[in-house]
Structures are given as C-alpha cells and as structure tokens.
Chains A and B, each alone.
Chain A
C-alpha cells in the first residue's frame, strides 16, 4: 500500500466516524424532542376531537417503552417508545423491513422482546398476559389461519377462545359477517378464500370480543377500495365509541385520511411521531416519509429503460 493510499483510507475512516457520530446525535436529539413533545402535547390534546364528550381525559391505553428485538446481529427494533391515547387511530408507517411487524408482534404478545415494556390498559403484556391480551384484538400479517375451518367455524372458534358464551358468539358472528359482507362466504373453507376476504375475516375475528385496543398489521393490504372504505367506517364507529386502533400500512394517503396520529419507523427506531399535521409539516405525509426514509437517491442509471429493446 502506498502512502497516499493509507492516507486516503484514514480519511475515509475518519469521515465514516464523523457520519456515525452525527447520526447518533440526530437520534438523541430526536428522542429528546419526542419526550418534550410528549410532555407538552399530552395535556393539551387538542386535535383529538373524535373522543366522545363524556370521556373525561385522554386515557393512555398503550404505553411502549424501550422496546427492542435482535435477530442474530441484526437489530430489527432498536428501542421504540410509543404512546397511544384511548379513542384515537394511530398509524405506524415505515419502509419495508423497518420493524413494523416486529414491533406490533411484541405489543400483542406474539413475539418476546429482548428489552422494553408494553403496558395495555394498565396491564404489562409480558408480565400479566391474561389481563393485557383480553384488552387486545389482533390482526397479524403473514401468519396462517386455521384455514381448514369454515369462516363461520373460525369466527366461532376465535370468539369462544376469547371467553365469550356461545349465544353471544353466534349473534356477533352473524352481525360481523353482515357488516363485512362475508355472509355468503361463511360456509366455505377459509383455505378457499381470496386474500382480501381472508383479511376481512381476520379483522372480524379480531373484533369479536370487543377489545379496547385493536392492533392491525397491514389491515388494508389486498383489500379492494369498497371493502377498505367499509372497514374504515367500522373502525371510525369503533373509535367514536371509545375504542382505539393501532395499525400499520404502506399507504400514506390512507394513513393521512384515517389516522389521528402517526409514527414513522425507519431501521427499528421512531424517527417522527405526533399528530398527522405535526409530522407532515408543510408538505404531504408521503414527502415527509420519503425524506425520513432516505429515498429518491437511486433513480439515476436506468437511462437504457427509456428506449425499448425492439
């Protein structure tokens, strides 16, 4: 190695270190800002107009502190804090592989975290799972259902597992099927459902025990627009009655329309959170998201795509 090379290498190393330091500082600053915002914003809670008037103050239905999960050397979730007030719809957005599903799985008690606490309605999910899980309705992403049951049987199964008496379950199954447009599908095996129908059925199963908190991972994926509008209406009614929804989605537009507040997760940390208006600032939520997620840097170099091969 020549002298010039070694100097260059040292220089590169130095730059890399500076960059790492800057990133660390930025994260610390953001964390501090977030704490400050939480302290100052919580008592005001101005934008949460959807809560019914008789609810006295915003109840903290979900409190996540320092949640972390490693898979091997790879930190999927690196210390996430999240607060969700009762009677709101909160969206989690992030690029592919940002740790959304991992976070939601740890909140719902499906994945044991390496560190951190999750408290749902005063009950710690990982210390008092019985009390905490009773408050939650869960729609996981990419997990199987017992798909050799008919839709009817699966909803009945979910209802009874949640401790409801048989008559109540039958009644609710009929009503849920009607609201989700699943009546004609109830007698078919879930294995024969389309992706969108499976999603709707899972959502109905998550709602059947009228939980305080709904945790929905990608509830709108592969659902047609009519059904999505229908689901949104159901969720809004549920929230108006005091329920709370925490959902993840890829669709910024949908999050912007549906959610009261939003958290942007990139590389397993929350980069921005607050009400939708706070997070998006001057531009659209999508612009903010792309900016934070560091996109739009790779569109060069595809010039050959501008002329066709024949």
Chain B
C-alpha cells in the first residue's frame, strides 16, 4: 500500500514535467529556488560549526523555528494545491490507518522534503562536536523532517477542510495579504533594535523561549547536548517527539474525518435591489461601470490589487528615506504613486479577469468604447478621491501651496495615462489571469512570460508619456510658480488625450477582436 502511494506521488511529480514548456520552466525555477534556499541554509549551518556553542544554538533555534513555522503556515495562507487530498481516495475503501500512513509517506516524496532533508543533514554537521551531540543531532534530523512534512500535511488538510467554501477561501487570501503587509512594520520595529549592543541578548532570550516550544525544541536538543546539558537535551527531544506523535494523531483523525465529510456548503447571502446598477445611468457604459464597481467590492482579485495601492508608496518612501532622501520632498510622492498603481495595476488585464463571461459583451455586440469606458470607472473614481484628499495633505506636509498645481497635474496625468493605456492593453494584449473564484495567489504558471513583457512595456509607456509633466513639476519645485502651472496644463493635456485616445483605440481593438478575446479567455 505504502509503495503504491509512493509510486503515485512519483508519477504525479514526473507528470509535472510533461506540461507545456513554460510551465516546466516555471517548475524548474521553483525547484532551483527551493534548492538554492536549502543550499544557503546549508552553508550557514556548516559555518556555524566554528561558532561557539551558545551562539550557534541560539541562531539555529531562532532560524529553525521560523523554518518550521513556515512549513506549518505557508499552506494555510497561500492555499497549497493538494494533489493527494485524502478525499480523492474515499471511494477506494482503504482502511483509514493504512490510508493515513500511505498518504503521509507519499508526502515525503517532493521538493519540500528534499529541501528539509538537506537542511536537517546540515544541522548534523553543525553539532557533530562530540559523540552524544552527534547522536542527538541525527535523531533530531529525522524528527525534524517528519515534523515539517507531516505538519504541513496537517495544516494543508485543515485548510482544505475549513476553507472549502468560496467565501472562506477569499477571506484567507485577503488575510494573507494583510499579514504580509503587516510584516513590514514588524521589520521596521526589528530595525530599531540596537543590534550592535543588545542584538545578542535579544537573540538569546528569543532562543531560550523557542527552544521549549514544539517549533524550536527539535533544533535546540543537539545544541544542549553539545553544551553538555543532558537534561535539557533529553527534555527538548521529548517535546519534539511528543509533537510528532501529536501531529500523527491529528493527521489520523483528519484523514478519518475527511473520508466521511463532503465539501462544506456555504450559506448564501441575499442582496436587495440593484445596487450600483440603480445608481448609474442605464446605458451600456453605465451598466458596465456598475458591474465593475460591484466586482471591485465583491471579487477578492480586485480587492487584493487595492490593498497593494497604499502599501507601495509606504514601502517606497520608507526605502528612499533610509537611503537618505529628504522627507521634505518625499512627502510629495504618495499621491502620484497611488494614482499610478490604481490606474496601471488594476485594470490592464481586465478582460482576462472576466474570463469567458465576456461572451455576453461579444454576443450583445457591445460598443467597444462603452466597454472600455465602463471598466475604468472604479479606478478613475478612486483615483480622483485620492487626489482630492491627498493633494492638500501633501502640500501641507511640504509646507507650501505653490506645489498644488504641479502635484495635481502629475497625479491626474499619471491616472489618465495609466487608464488610457490599460484600456488598449486589456483589449489588445490580455495574458492569463487568476480565474474568478480562485485565490489571488493562484497566478497561472503559463503567465510568466506574456505577463512580464506586457507589464514591463506598459509600465515604460506610462512613464514615457508622463515624463514631460513630471519634468515640469520638478522644474517648478526648483524654480517656482510658472513651471507649476505649466506642469498642470501639460499634465491635463497629455492625460486627457491619452485617456480619450486609449478608450477610442481600445474600443476599436475590442470591436475587432471580440471573438478572439473570448477564444483567448476560453483557452486559459
């Protein structure tokens, strides 16, 4: 039975390489990335061999706990693709214990297990300083691999069990994003610690706590053994082994539960009235705008694009401030940057976001211009709101109202140019997008190439068209008022022409290529 599951997993892995060349390319990149990370950790662990026991133990425990944490929680947040879901075997009538064992064994075939095995072996090198330490390190290495792989199986299964409804999946995707964005302040706090003087103390105190948790105990035991503390080493090993035992019991229970429980059914929510449709004009562009607004509110793919909009300027300004650029000038950046991301990153692949639902526009012979104009309404409205609120705030932060015209000119120009260009690109150069209902992280593999050149070129185009306005704004900051007004006028002119031209040209492309766009969305 176990042999059959191992064979199945091997075949699944082998078949990954029988997909399209680009998917295989992506897979190899992922493989190299995983092995690269393992190799980096390996070098670190081998290097720690020469470091004194106390420090090496603390470093290994803290870094190791993070690795175990990653194995446990990454699948929860990112939603692992579970090829050997226990439910898939529920119709074969295999006894639960054998199925649980077989599936667990199969989980050890794969890149994560390989990566973990390399790291676990390297950890033996770190601690092979005395005979007892070596023995404990070897035991720890085995426990380590089992903990990580079985742990990630358990969390993946919990995720598929709890998050099987559409709404729950969407919610976790969003939570993941928020967690990721919350990490940056955490990193900022870590930056403020005076590492030179207190760093080691902080590290040791974190390690002391972590070494008695299931995450760190398995890493700490060989270190304790190397330090000659047999009591601590055996205590930590017992914690580590108990955790593995617990994981096995949970896994066994989960498999049994999965076999008898069908997918969870979600409760549905009722919406009254027509929503945005009642508030916007009943014309093709009006209803398309209403549809886009409804989607921006309900579809997690749009919301995840929105979450990034305020994060990017914060990160950029933080980086520039660290690099030594004066805050006096940085204060002018957030509004144009947010406009840029609103305009460029949200709708330039909008048709692909519709997927095959775009047939309705093709079958109704919807005017391409109405389609284009309707789709850009949500980012346009949001962008104008950001400009209206942000411009006075930035000018106040800068300390002079003189910059208002050029700030307005630059922001409007970036917004309009980005939206105009997106209108052409989404009709002319769609690339595979996340399907409706999928996690926003489930970017199709095959998108790698097409996506990057479309994104890159369109980004360059937006920058190129807005350069004159930005240049005039910079001159305004350097030399004064006249240039500010010039920036506003040039910004409005280039932005207006780009927006209008983008809608007309994009509309023509949409009219001409409607069936081809539909065929494209049906392919991916």
Contact B363 A160 (CB under 8 A): no
B441 contacts partner chain A, Cβ-Cβ < 8 Å: no
Residues 115-143 (chain A) with a chain B CB within 8 angstroms: 129-130, 133-134, 136, 138, 140, 142-143
CB distance from A200 to the nearest CB of B (A): 16
Contact A189 B436 (CB under 8 A): no
CB distance from A20 to the nearest CB of B (A): 31
A133-B363, A160-B287 are known contacts. Are A165 and B357 too (CB-CB below 8 A)? no
A112-B516, A143-B359, A144-B355 are known contacts. Are A153 and B274 too (CB-CB below 8 A)? yes
B449 contacts partner chain A, Cβ-Cβ < 8 Å: no
For B518, the chain A residues whose CB sits under 8 A away are 110-111, 143
CB distance from B396 to the nearest CB of A (A): 39
A157 contacts partner chain B, Cβ-Cβ < 8 Å: yes
Query: In the complex, A243 Cα to B75 Cα: how many Å?
Result: 54
A156 contacts which of B166, B266, B274, B360 (Cβ < 8 Å)? B274
Query: In the complex, A128 Cα to B359 Cα: how many Å?
Result: 18
For B272, the chain A residues whose CB sits under 8 A away are 187
Contact B284 A161 (CB under 8 A): yes
Contact A161 B366 (CB under 8 A): yes
Contact B357 A191 (CB under 8 A): no
Contact A158 B364 (CB under 8 A): yes
Contact A157 B291 (CB under 8 A): yes
A153 contacts which of B277, B286, B362 (Cβ < 8 Å)? B277
For B283, the chain A residues whose CB sits under 8 A away are 160
Query: In the complex, A235 Cα to B430 Cα: how many Å?
Result: 38
A144-B356, A148-B299, A149-B291 are known contacts. Are A108 and B271 too (CB-CB below 8 A)? no
Q: Which of B277, B290, B360 has the most CB of A within 10 A?
A: B360
Q: How many residues of A contact B (CB 8 A)?
A: 39
Query: In the complex, A162 Cα to B362 Cα: how many Å?
Result: 11
Contact A161 B522 (CB under 8 A): no
For B437, the chain A residues whose CB sits under 8 A away are 191
A22 contacts partner chain B, Cβ-Cβ < 8 Å: no
* Residue of chain A at shortest CB distance from B364: A161
A146 contacts partner chain B, Cβ-Cβ < 8 Å: yes
Query: In the complex, A148 Cα to B270 Cα: how many Å?
Result: 12
Contact A150 B271 (CB under 8 A): yes
A79 contacts partner chain B, Cβ-Cβ < 8 Å: no
Query: In the complex, A153 Cα to B276 Cα: how many Å?
Result: 9
A188 contacts partner chain B, Cβ-Cβ < 8 Å: yes
- B-contact 0/1 string along A242-279, CB 8 Å cutoff: 00000000000000000000000000000000000000
CB distance from A82 to the nearest CB of B (A): 19
B519 contacts partner chain A, Cβ-Cβ < 8 Å: yes
For A153, the chain B residues whose CB sits under 8 A away are 274-275, 277, 290-291, 294
Query: In the complex, A123 Cα to B361 Cα: how many Å?
Result: 19
CB distance from B194 to the nearest CB of A (A): 50
A18 contacts partner chain B, Cβ-Cβ < 8 Å: no
B282 contacts partner chain A, Cβ-Cβ < 8 Å: yes
CB distance from A37 to the nearest CB of B (A): 31
Q: Which of B277, B288, B361 has the most CB of A within 10 A?
A: B277
Query: In the complex, A166 Cα to B361 Cα: how many Å?
Result: 18
Query: In the complex, A142 Cα to B522 Cα: how many Å?
Result: 9
A195 contacts partner chain B, Cβ-Cβ < 8 Å: no
For A109, the chain B residues whose CB sits under 8 A away are 362-363, 365, 514-515
Query: In the complex, A143 Cα to B294 Cα: how many Å?
Result: 20
For B20, the chain A residues whose CB sits under 8 A away are none
CB distance from A152 to the nearest CB of B (A): 6
A169 contacts partner chain B, Cβ-Cβ < 8 Å: yes
Contact B274 A147 (CB under 8 A): no
Interface range, B side? 35 or more
Query: In the complex, A86 Cα to B273 Cα: how many Å?
Result: 37
* Residue of chain B at shortest CB distance from A158: B360
Contact B436 A144 (CB under 8 A): yes
The SS class assigned to the B binding surface is helix
B271 contacts which of A142, A144, A156, A187 (Cβ < 8 Å)? A187
* Residue of chain B at shortest CB distance from A151: B271
A145 contacts partner chain B, Cβ-Cβ < 8 Å: yes
B298 contacts partner chain A, Cβ-Cβ < 8 Å: yes
Query: In the complex, A173 Cα to B59 Cα: how many Å?
Result: 66
Query: In the complex, A228 Cα to B357 Cα: how many Å?
Result: 24
Contact A147 B436 (CB under 8 A): yes
Q: Which of B269, B287, B366 has the most CB of A within 10 A?
A: B287
Residues 436-490 (chain B) with a chain A CB within 8 angstroms: 436-437
* Residue of chain B at shortest CB distance from A112: B515
A153-B275, A160-B287 are known contacts. Are A145 and B366 too (CB-CB below 8 A)? no
Query: In the complex, A189 Cα to B357 Cα: how many Å?
Result: 15
- B-contact 0/1 string along A62-90, CB 8 Å cutoff: 00000000000000000000000000000
A192 contacts partner chain B, Cβ-Cβ < 8 Å: yes
B295 contacts partner chain A, Cβ-Cβ < 8 Å: yes
* Residue of chain A at shortest CB distance from B294: A149
A109-B365, A187-B271, A191-B166 are known contacts. Are A146 and B266 too (CB-CB below 8 A)? no
CB distance from B474 to the nearest CB of A (A): 43
Query: In the complex, A166 Cα to B268 Cα: how many Å?
Result: 28
A136-B363, A143-B357, A149-B291 are known contacts. Are A160 and B284 too (CB-CB below 8 A)? yes
Query: In the complex, A144 Cα to B353 Cα: how many Å?
Result: 12
CB distance from B520 to the nearest CB of A (A): 12
A110-B362, A149-B294, A158-B364 are known contacts. Are A143 and B271 too (CB-CB below 8 A)? no
B354 contacts partner chain A, Cβ-Cβ < 8 Å: yes
For A140, the chain B residues whose CB sits under 8 A away are 359, 363
CB distance from A187 to the nearest CB of B (A): 4
Interface residues of chain B, those whose CB is within 8 Å of chain A, are: 166, 266, 268-275, 277, 282-284, 286-288, 290-291, 294-295, 298-299, 354-357, 359-366, 436-437, 514-516, 518-519, 522
Could you list 22 A-B pairs, sorted by A, with CB under 8 Å? Answer: A108-B363, A109-B363, A110-B515, A111-B518, A133-B363, A143-B518, A146-B360, A152-B274, A153-B291, A156-B277, A157-B277, A160-B282, A160-B283, A160-B287, A161-B284, A161-B287, A162-B364, A163-B284, A189-B271, A189-B298, A191-B437, A192-B266
Q: Which 4 A-B pairs have the closest CB atoms?
A: A166-B282, A133-B365, A144-B357, A192-B268
Extra contacts besides A112-B516, A191-B166 (9): CB < 8 Å: A109-B365, A109-B514, A110-B515, A111-B515, A140-B359, A149-B294, A157-B287, A157-B360, A160-B286
Interface residues of chain A, those whose CB is within 8 Å of chain B, are: 108-112, 129-130, 133-134, 136, 138, 140, 142-150, 152-153, 156-158, 160-163, 165-166, 169, 187-189, 191-192, 205
